Chain A
Amino acid sequence: MHTFEFIRPTDSAAAIAAAAQSKTAQQGADVRFMGGGTTLIDLMKLNVETPARVLDINRLPLDKIELMPDGGLKIGA
């Protein structure tokens, strides 16, 4: 696995701002969000994904499922 900088943003805005500086996925993104990590960590072990920075968003308050007034569902992250 390549080395990377591990960052835990304090809110969604900080996470978005940090990721906005990154190249797109097609250009070989160098910033990746860490959610469950089940795919990302696996691919990092195989050096398929080699992000320079990993943003851990697990502790942001996004794990909600809300019923919307129009009958839809809003799923957190």
Chain B
Amino acid sequence: MEDDKIGSPQPSRRRFLLTTGTTLAASVLAAHTPAQVLAHETETASSGDASAVEGAIAITLRINGKDHQLRIDPRTTLLDCIRESVALTGTKKGCDHGQCGACTVHVNGKRVLSCLNLALMNDGNKITTIEGLGTPEAMHPMQAAFVACDGYQCGYCTSGQIMSAVALLKEPCGPDDAAVKELMSGNICRCGAYANIVAAIQQVRKRA
């Protein structure tokens, strides 16, 4: 699914949050002395855009077919790099410890947990995120199946579920539901949409 563009004239949840967040930050900062403001700005730079960070390393990531040349702090995870530096926020941060699967992306065609990968380990690698699978107008068959089968409730784990499900299609997997459940066991859904997720995957596999 295509991410909402910050500059888009259409109102969106993300644009609203960004705008109110900036306004709030500005009003809070106004109450501080200039020295404190400076410290805050330095802190923001180190956690987000790492162009000003000491020891930043230049890498190239090929994300969804497009090369991104970035300068990042060596500690940046692939997940933070995709979300904060490249601003592709379809990939979600769940636990940030490799237990939930929400951050699943494809690296050179295989599924990986982007929270347990350093961005600089992936210098030159081909990365596919949920934004690279399909668009709202031309969905990937797995995305269409998740919609058709209602494979989600809140949707937070969905991009990770779909990235895992798409990778599963190329992996050795038995025909029955139990085999699909085993291969999807790294992706947790707190809403409990598991039955519909399995149904969506089986629908795609049967049509393939």
* CB pair B97 A42 closer than 8 Å: yes
* CB pair B98 A42 closer than 8 Å: yes
Residue A19 is within 8 A (CB to CB) of chain B in the complex? no
Distance in angstroms between the alpha carbons of A54 and B120 in the assembled complex: 12
Residue A58 is within 8 A (CB to CB) of chain B in the complex? yes
Residue B116 is within 8 A (CB to CB) of chain A in the complex? yes
* CB pair A37 B116 closer than 8 Å: yes
* CB pair A37 B97 closer than 8 Å: no
Distance in angstroms between the alpha carbons of A71 and B55 in the assembled complex: 49
Please, how many residues of chain A have a CB less than 8 angstroms from a CB on the other chain? 14
Specify which chain B residues have a CB less than 8 angstroms from the CB of A6 in the assembled complex.
Answer: 57, 74, 118, 120
Specify which chain B residues have a CB less than 8 angstroms from the CB of A4 in the assembled complex.
Answer: 74-75
Residue A41 is within 8 A (CB to CB) of chain B in the complex? yes
CB 8 Å contact bits of B105-139 with A (1 = contact, 0 = none)? 00000000100111011000000000000000000
Distance in angstroms between the alpha carbons of A5 and B55 in the assembled complex: 9
Residue B96 is within 8 A (CB to CB) of chain A in the complex? yes
* CB pair B121 A3 closer than 8 Å: no
Specify which chain A residues have a CB less than 8 angstroms from the CB of B121 in the assembled complex.
Answer: 34, 37, 56, 58
Distance in angstroms between the alpha carbons of A4 and B75 in the assembled complex: 8
CB distance from A9 to the nearest CB of B (A): 13
Distance in angstroms between the alpha carbons of A38 and B186 in the assembled complex: 13
Residue A60 is within 8 A (CB to CB) of chain B in the complex? no
What are the nearest 7 A-B pairs in CB distance?
A1-B75, A38-B116, A6-B74, A41-B116, A42-B97, A38-B98, A56-B121
Residue B85 is within 8 A (CB to CB) of chain A in the complex? no
Give A6's nearest chain B residue, CB to CB.
B74
Give B99's nearest chain A residue, CB to CB.
A42
Specify which chain B residues have a CB less than 8 angstroms from the CB of A36 in the assembled complex.
Answer: 116
Distance in angstroms between the alpha carbons of A37 and B52 in the assembled complex: 27
Specify which chain B residues have a CB less than 8 angstroms from the CB of A41 in the assembled complex.
Answer: 77, 116-118
Specify which chain A residues have a CB less than 8 angstroms from the CB of B96 in the assembled complex.
Answer: 45
Specify which chain B residues have a CB less than 8 angstroms from the CB of A56 in the assembled complex.
Answer: 121
Specify which chain B residues have a CB less than 8 angstroms from the CB of A38 in the assembled complex.
Answer: 98, 113, 116
CB distance from B149 to the nearest CB of A (A): 30
Q: List 16 A-B contacts (CB under 8 A).
A: A1-B75, A3-B74, A4-B75, A6-B57, A6-B118, A34-B121, A37-B116, A37-B121, A38-B98, A38-B113, A41-B116, A42-B97, A42-B116, A45-B97, A56-B121, A58-B121
Specify which chain A residues have a CB less than 8 angstroms from the CB of B98 in the assembled complex.
Answer: 38, 42
CB distance from A24 to the nearest CB of B (A): 24
Specify which chain B residues have a CB less than 8 angstroms from the CB of A5 in the assembled complex.
Answer: 74
CB distance from B141 to the nearest CB of A (A): 30
A34-B118, A42-B98, A45-B97 provided; 5 other pairs, C-beta below 8 A? A4-B75, A5-B74, A34-B121, A42-B97, A42-B116
